[in-house]
Amino acid sequence: MDTEADIKRVVRERYASAAATSKRCCGATAGKGLAQPDLGLDMIGDVYKAVDGYVADADLGLGCGLPTQHAGIKAGDVVLDLGSGAGIDAFVARRIVGAQGRVVGVDMTPEMLTRARENAAKLGYENVEFRAGEIEALPVDDASIDVVVSNCVLNLVPDKAGAFAEIYRVLRRGAHFCVSDIVATGPLPEPLRKAAALYVGCVAGALPRDDYLRLIDEAGFAAINVAETKSIDLPDEVLASHLDNAGLAAFRSSGTALQSITVRATKPA
């Protein structure tokens, strides 16, 4: 994948296929018939089932954390969910903001938007809407959002600095974001960074952790805090599709590992 257009095309294809299947996208039994091969990686498991506001039809197993649990969402807030997919985080957020609040989801995959809108209609939620758009150019007014959340999506965005700049733009002064994402403890080998299948699994796009946090700081945010860190294991059989034996051995000996982090930061008042 040499260009931003290539990356977005692959992401759209994979998530369009995920929206069309009733199976969870990244579990060991999922992936049959998908445009990209199943990764055999489930970075979220069944933790959503215990969360208030859980909607089974919106849970495609695509996340890597629970950003809504650390986001400090309050009743009446306006919440923006980036890469909203079938709507799982939007519906969890809606349970917190209540009827007086509002939730907006943004996604670039038409099939995901259709599924999310169908889920919202079945739930009878009139204060949850899903808009077509890309994170680097959000269809959202300046300074109109109280809380931004996102779950394992910013890694899919080629221009991450642009994404954080857009988050900054749409937040009100003193408002904040909370996102779960995948980072690396060091540089990833070139074959892994270019692997399409790993990219749509939020892996190949993983920046080194310090670089990821630096982008947030450079976007102007304050009070940057990593609320949760989890280790993500990449099995040898997954890596072997992209690295030869020597490359795999070098990667293992480098000590570089993948982590799911949930980060919260505030736009200065």
Beta-bridge partners for 267: none
pLDDT higher than threshold 90 for residue 9: no
pLDDT higher than threshold 80 for residue 175: yes
Model pLDDT, residue 216? 98
pLDDT higher than threshold 80 for residue 24: no
**Which residue spans within the chain are E strands per DSSP?**
78-82, 102-107, 128-132, 145-151, 171-184, 222-232, 258-266
Where does the pLDDT of residue 31 fall: very low under 50, low under 70, confident under 90, or very high at 90 and above? very low
- Secondary structure (DSSP) of 195-245: -HHHHTTTSTTPPBHHHHHHHHHHTT-EEEEEEEEEEE---HHHHTTTS-H
pLDDT higher than threshold 80 for residue 187: yes
- Token match 């931003």: residue? 4
Rg (CA), the chain: 18
| Sign of the torsion angle spanned by Cα atoms 168, 141, 9, 178 | positive
Model pLDDT, residue 211? 95
The C-alpha atoms of residue 29 and residue 185 are separated, in whole angstroms, by: 29
Give the whole-number percent of the chain exceeding pLDDT 70: 87
The dihedral over CA atoms of 7, 8, 14, 17, expressed in degrees to the nearest 10, equals -160
Q: What CATH number has the domain bearing residue 169?
A: 3.40.50.150
Contacts of 9 (CB under 8 A, 6+ apart): none
Model pLDDT, residue 34? 32
Model pLDDT, residue 240? 86
Number of domains in the chain: 1
Where does the pLDDT of residue 36 fall: very low under 50, low under 70, confident under 90, or very high at 90 and above? very low
CA 173: distance to chain centroid? 24
> pLDDT tens-digit profile of 42-87?
566 567 766 777 777 787 778 889 999 999 999 999 999 999 999 9
Model pLDDT, residue 37? 37
Please choose, from the candidates 184, 164, 200, 204, the residue with its C-alpha nearest in 3D space to the C-alpha of residue 260: 184
Q: Report how far apart, in Å, the C-alpha atoms of 239 and of each of 65, 75, 202, 243 are.
A: 23, 44, 14, 6
Helix (H) or strand (E) holding 162: helix 160-170
pLDDT higher than threshold 90 for residue 13: no
Determine the structural domain holding residue 41 and report its residue range.
4-266
The C-alpha atoms of residue 195 and residue 140 are separated, in whole angstroms, by: 32
Q: Which has the minimum average pLDDT: 90-94, 124-128, 198-202, 263-267?
A: 198-202
Model pLDDT, residue 168? 98
Model pLDDT, residue 193? 80
Question: What is the mean pLDDT of the segment spanning 194-211?
Answer: 80
